[in-house]
Structures are given as C-alpha cells and as structure tokens.
Amino acid sequence: MLQYKILSDQELTSLLRVGDKYAYTEIYNRHKNLLQNHLYKKLGDLELVKDVLQDLFVKLWDQKSELPITDNLPGYLFSAARNRVFNHLSRQQVASKYISSLHTFINEDNYITDLAIREKEFAKIIRQEIEALPAKMREVFLLSRDGHFSHEEIAKQLGISPQTVSKQISNALKTLRLRLGVLFYFL
C-alpha cells in the first residue's frame, strides 16, 4: 500500500488530479491546520473559517482535474484561501451597503407616510374651514377653486355680477387666511 504521508506535495497533487481520494485526504490533513490558523487571524470567526476551509477543499476536489501542477501547493492553497477571504469581505461590504440602503429606504418611507398622514389631516382642517364659510361665499369659492370656473362663468351660473364673485372670493380668502394661519398656504 502507498504511504501518502511520505509523498511530496507535488506527488500528492499529481495523484489528486487523477482522482485519488487518499491523496486528497493527505493534502487536507497536511495543510488544514496552517490554513485554519492563517484564516482565523484574518477573519477572527472560527465558524466562518471552517466554512471558508470547507469551500476551499470542496472546490479543490471538484476542480482536481484542472489543478495546476505546482511546486508550491501550500502557496496555491494560501492564495485560494486569501481569495475566499477577499470574496467574503466584498460580499460582506455589499450586504452592509444593502442593509444601509434598506434602512434609509425604510426611514424615508416612514417620513413619506408621515407626510401623507399630515397632508390628509391638513386637507380635513381646510375642508372644515371652507364648510364653515357662509353658504353663498362657500358656493362661489368652491366653484372657483374646485370647479375651476372663471369669475364670469360663476357670475353667469349664479345670476350675480362678476364684481360680486370677485368680492366673495376675496372675502373667503381673507377669512380662511385668518382661520388657518400657516395652513392657508396649503390651500
């Protein structure tokens, strides 16, 4: 039986390339601890280190036939581990940016919702003040603002003079300005 422990990394790599699972196991046993210590210094999270190592060795087995024959297997493994650390940090940074943008969106959404609620409240207050106007003044004002009729059209429709329409609208605006204060400008 072949003694895998005495084989060089280059010999193990050659055997791994043809699918020798014992060569794979020896490579794993020989380099796992050094890689684990190196990754732990970089990541500081043992569970994450285990995940990165598992990913590295699974890829090593899956891509064994494309594995370059190298004189420096530890260098190859450390480079592969380093690339996985970079990929992890990059994904973590993207995830962090996504979470940050999600928080911003949620906060803006709350702000927009708050504005919509306030707008409805303001509209209700304004509508109540318009309803409190004297009947004829309210009718003229609503035809002007809601109906978008000209002063002449309102005068003709109600059988009054255009000057009376202008005076009624002017009086309505003065009354609303006094009652609503700042809210008047939403009108």
Q: How many CB atoms lie within 10 A of CB 63?
A: 10
CA 114 to chain centre: 20
Is the distance from CB of 137 to CB of 168 less than 8 angstroms? Answer: yes
pLDDT number for residue 184: 57
pLDDT for position 34: 92
Quick check: do 4-98 and 132-186 share a fold?
A: no
Residue 161 has pLDDT above 80, yes or no: yes
* Tokens representing residue 28 in the block: 């794993």
- Where exactly are the structural domains of the chain? 4-98, 132-186
pLDDT interval class at 185 (50, 70, 90): low
CA-nearest of 166, 180, 177 to 137 is 166
Q: What is the pLDDT of residue 111?
A: 66
Q: Is the pLDDT of residue 29 over 70?
A: yes
Report DSSP letters for 108-160, one per residue.
HHHHHHHHHHHHHHHHHHHHHHHHTS-HHHHHHHHHHHTS---HHHHHHHHT-
**What does the pLDDT average to over 75-100?**
83
Q: What is the pLDDT of residues 106-155, one digit of tens each?
A: 666 666 777 778 788 888 888 888 888 888 998 998 898 888 888 899 99
**Residue 22, pLDDT score:** 94
d(C-alpha 95, C-alpha 98), whole Å = 5
The topology (CATH level 3) of 4-98 is Rna Polymerase Sigma Factor; Chain: A (1.10.1740)
Distance (Å, rounded) from C-alpha 61 to C-alpha 56? 9
Spatial separation of the C-alpha atoms in residues 75 and 77, rounded to whole Å: 5
pTM of structure: 0.51
Nearest to 178 by CA among 135, 187, 150, 116: 187
Q: What is the pLDDT of residue 21?
A: 93
pLDDT (0 to 100) of residue 106:
65
CATH 3.90.550 fits 132-186, yes or no: no
